[in-house]
Amino acid sequence: MADVVHMIDSEVFLAFSTYATIVVLKMMLMSFMTSYFRLTKQVFSNLEDTTLVKTTEDRKKLVRVDPDVERVRRCHLNDLENIVPFVVIGLLYALTGPDLSTALLHFRVFVGSRFIHTVAYVMALPQPTRGLAFGVGLFTTFSMAYRVLTTALFL
Amino acid sequence: MADVVHMIDSEVFLAFSTYATIVVLKMMLMSFMTSYFRLTKQVFSNLEDTTLVKTTEDRKKLVRVDPDVERVRRCHLNDLENIVPFVVIGLLYALTGPDLSTALLHFRVFVGSRFIHTVAYVMALPQPTRGLAFGVGLFTTFSMAYRVLTTALFL
Amino acid sequence: MADVVHMIDSEVFLAFSTYATIVVLKMMLMSFMTSYFRLTKQVFSNLEDTTLVKTTEDRKKLVRVDPDVERVRRCHLNDLENIVPFVVIGLLYALTGPDLSTALLHFRVFVGSRFIHTVAYVMALPQPTRGLAFGVGLFTTFSMAYRVLTTALFL
Which pLDDT score, from 0 to 100, does residue B72 have? 92
A155 contacts C24? CB cut-off 8 A: no
How would residue C98 be classed by pLDDT, with cut points 50, 70 and 90? very high
Give me the pLDDT at residue B59, please. 78
The closest of C54, C35, C30, C55 to C45, measured between CA atoms, is C35
Phi, psi angles (nearest 5°) of residue B125: -65, 150
The pLDDT, as a whole number, for residue C8 is 55
Give the pLDDT confidence score for residue B60 in this predicted structure.
78
Cβ contacts of B119 on chain A, cutoff 8 Å: none
- Calpha distance B20→B108 (Å, rounded): 10
How many other β-carbons are positioned within 10 Å of the β-carbon of residue B4?
Answer: 20
Residue pair B1/C97 in contact (Cβ under 8 Å)? The answer is: yes
Q: Please indicate if any CB of chain C lies within 8 Å of the CB of B8.
A: yes
Q: Nearest CA of chain A to the CA of C128: how many Å? A: 27
In chain B, the percentage of residues whose pLDDT exceeds 70 is 92
> Residues B108, B111, B117, B123: is their CA dihedral positive or negative?
negative
pLDDT band for position C89 (50/70/90)? very high
Query: Does B52 sit within 8 Å of C127, measured CB to CB?
Result: yes
Q: How many CA atoms lie within 13 A of B118 on its CB side?
A: 23
Of A33-37, B57-61, B112-116, the range with the highest mean pLDDT is B112-116
Range in A11-15, C3-7, C25-29, C78-82 with the lowest mean pLDDT: C3-7
Q: What is the mean pLDDT of chain A?
A: 88
C-alpha torsion sign, points C124, C127, C128, C129: negative
Task: Name the region of B46 (left: φ>0; alpha: ψ -120 to 50; beta: rest).
Answer: beta
Of C6, C3, C26, the C-alpha closest to A9 is: C3
The set of residues, in sequence order, having a beta carbon less than 8 Å from that of C60 and lying 6+ positions away, is C47, C50
Q: Per-domain residue ranges for chain C?
A: 1-154
Query: Chains A and B: how many Cβ contacts under 8 Å?
Result: 92
Distances in Å between the Cα of C115 and the Cα atoms of B28, B40, B64 are 19, 28, 27
pTM of the predicted protein model: 0.91
Q: How far is A122 from chain C (nearest CA, A)?
A: 11
**Is B20 within 8 Å of B11 (Cβ atoms)?**
no
**A3 to chain B: which residues are within 8 Å by CB?**
3, 6-7
Largest CA distance in chain C: 63
Chains that contact A by 3+ CB pairs under 8 Å?
B, C
pLDDT band at C79 (very low <50, low <70, confident <90, very high): very high
User: Above 90 in pLDDT, residue B57?
Assistant: no
What does the pLDDT read at residue A2?
38
The residues, ordered by sequence, that sit 6+ positions from B151 with a Cβ below 8 Å of its Cβ are: A8, B96
Residue of B nearest to C124 (CA): B48
- Across the interface, whether the CB atoms of A48 and B127 are under 8 A apart is answered yes
Q: Looking at chain A, which residue has its C-alpha nearest residue B94?
A: A4
Tell if the CB–CB gap between A145 and C20 is shorter than 8 Å: no
As a 3-state breakdown, chain B gives helix, strand, coil percent values, each rounded to 5, of 80, 0, 15
How much is the pLDDT for C4? Answer: 47
CB contacts, 8 Å: B95 with chain A:
4, 7-8, 17
- B97 backbone φψ class: left, alpha, beta (φ>0; ψ -120 to 50): left
Task: Measure CB to CB from residue A18 to each of B10, B131, B155 and give the nearest one.
Answer: B155
Give contacts of A5 with chain B, Cβ < 8 Å. Answer: 97
- Three-state SS letters, C37-83: HHHHHCCECCHHHHHHCCCCHHHHHHECCCHHHHHHHHHHHHHHHHH
Q: How far is C4 from chain A (nearest CA, A)?
A: 6
Can you give the pLDDT at residue B9?
62
Best residue in C11, C26, C28 to probe A by mutation, most A CBs within 10 Å?
A: C28
First and final C-alpha spacing in chain B: 31
Question: Is A7 within 8 Å of C4 when comparing Cβ atoms?
Answer: yes
A20 contacts on B by Cβ (under 8 Å): 88, 92
Residues 71-100 of B with CB under 8 A from C: 76-77, 80, 84, 87
Cβ–Cβ < 8 Å for B18, C152:
yes
Q: Which residues of C touch B46 (CB under 8 A)?
A: 71, 74, 121, 124
Beta-ladder partners of B44? B63
Q: Does the structural domain A1-154 have CATH classification 1.10.3720.10?
A: no
Mean pLDDT of C145-150: 94
Residue A131's closest CA among C77, C69, C32? C32
Give the model confidence (pLDDT) of B76-132 as tens digits: 999 999 999 999 999 999 999 899 999 999 999 999 999 999 999 999 888 899 999
The answer to whether B84 touches A84, Cβ cutoff 8 Å, is yes
pLDDT at residue C1, as a whole number: 33
Per-residue buried b or exposed e for A116-145, using 16+ beta carbons within 10 Å of the residue's own CB: bbbebbbeeeeeebbeebbebbbebbebbb
User: Is the model more confident about B91 or about B48?
Assistant: B91
**Mutation for B interface: A1, A4, A47, A60, most B CBs within 10 A:** A4
**Which distant-in-sequence residues (6+ apart) come within 8 Å of B135 by Cβ?**
none
